[in-house]
Amino acid sequence: MAAEIRLLTCLTDNFGVLIHDPATKATAAIDAPEAAPIIAALEREGWQLTDILITHHHHDHVGGVAELKKKYRCRVVAPQDKAAKIADVDLRVGNGDVVKVGNLLGRVVETPGHTLDHITYVFDSEKTVFAADTLFSIGCGRVIEGTHPMMWDSLLKLRALPDDFKLYCGHEYTAANVKFALSIEPDNPALQARAAQVAKLRAANQPTLPTTMGEEKKANVFLRADEPSVAAKLHMKGAAPAEVFGELRERKNKF
């Protein structure tokens, strides 16, 4: 039986996500920005929270953990990097570990850069990836704790996922990301198509996610730092992709 997935808005522009296994009734929250909208969504569906899968230590991803754990006595899964000091953790996971949510299997991919502890959960059988603040639609997370080459490596790991995998992210940043991407690749037809779609969705107050890895590979300039045309646009012909990526990230920070 296929998983059921619900996307919900938390705080200002964070996304909460629930993934539910109909066979076992297990339900996991991917991150817990705040408890109230997650509890409301669970009650609406009649689901019990069994697991919280944390991607990284930032407060807007773990702020609801204590309250949810108290209410549901759920298991809390978090990155193994203990330096990140996430509270209430039951299971620490690293690269290649597989987390069970009922019968659903979430594979852990370490994707450091935004933070050093950042992990991504890939549910291969559901063709779904929860990339939080590593990969956004048409963007990527700020490189706060890691380095540009480290973040580029993390993005390459995600880019290797199949085109038909659905991508869920930690924030609704797509419209701003599209603006920046168009400043670099105004003639990219996949980006133009995504821009039109995003404008329509936002005008209707709809989320721009999930998207697919295939669409992102074509339209997300941060996944295209090794395209010669992108390097040329930045006057960086022949530069290492990680350097081109770093320049893109710096420009986006100031955009």
Q: List contacts with Zn ion (CB under 5 A).
A: 58, 133
CB of 76 to Zn ion, least distance (A): 17
CB of 230 to Zn ion, least distance (A): 25
> Given the complex with Zn ion, which of 133 and 247 has the nearer CB atom?
133
Phi then psi for residue 245, to 5 deg, are -60, -45
Instruction: List b or e across 103-141, with b for residues whose CB sees 16 or more CB atoms inside 10 angstroms.
Output: ebebbbbbbbbbbbbbbbbbbeebbbbbbbbbbbbbbbb
- Rounded CA-CA distance 158/154 in Å is 7
- Rounded CA-CA distance 254/126 in Å is 37
What single letter denotes the amino acid at residue 131? A
CB of 38 to Zn ion, least distance (A): 17
> Given the complex with Zn ion, which of 56 and 224 has the nearer CB atom?
56
> Given the complex with Zn ion, which of 102 and 113 has the nearer CB atom?
113
CB of 35 to Zn ion, least distance (A): 18
Tokens of residue 186, six digits:
């105004």
CB of 54 to Zn ion, least distance (A): 11
> Given the complex with Zn ion, which of 133 and 172 has the nearer CB atom?
133
Number of helices followed by number of strands (H, E) in the chain: 9, 14
> Given the complex with Zn ion, which of 58 and 148 has the nearer CB atom?
58
Sheet with 119-123: strands ordered across:
98-101, 104-110, 119-123, 128-132, 166-169, 211-212
> Given the complex with Zn ion, which of 69 and 171 has the nearer CB atom?
171
DSSP letter at 213 equals H
Query: Which residue's CB comes closest to Zn ion?
Result: 58
Tokens of residue 182, six digits:
């168009």
CB of 114 to Zn ion, least distance (A): 6
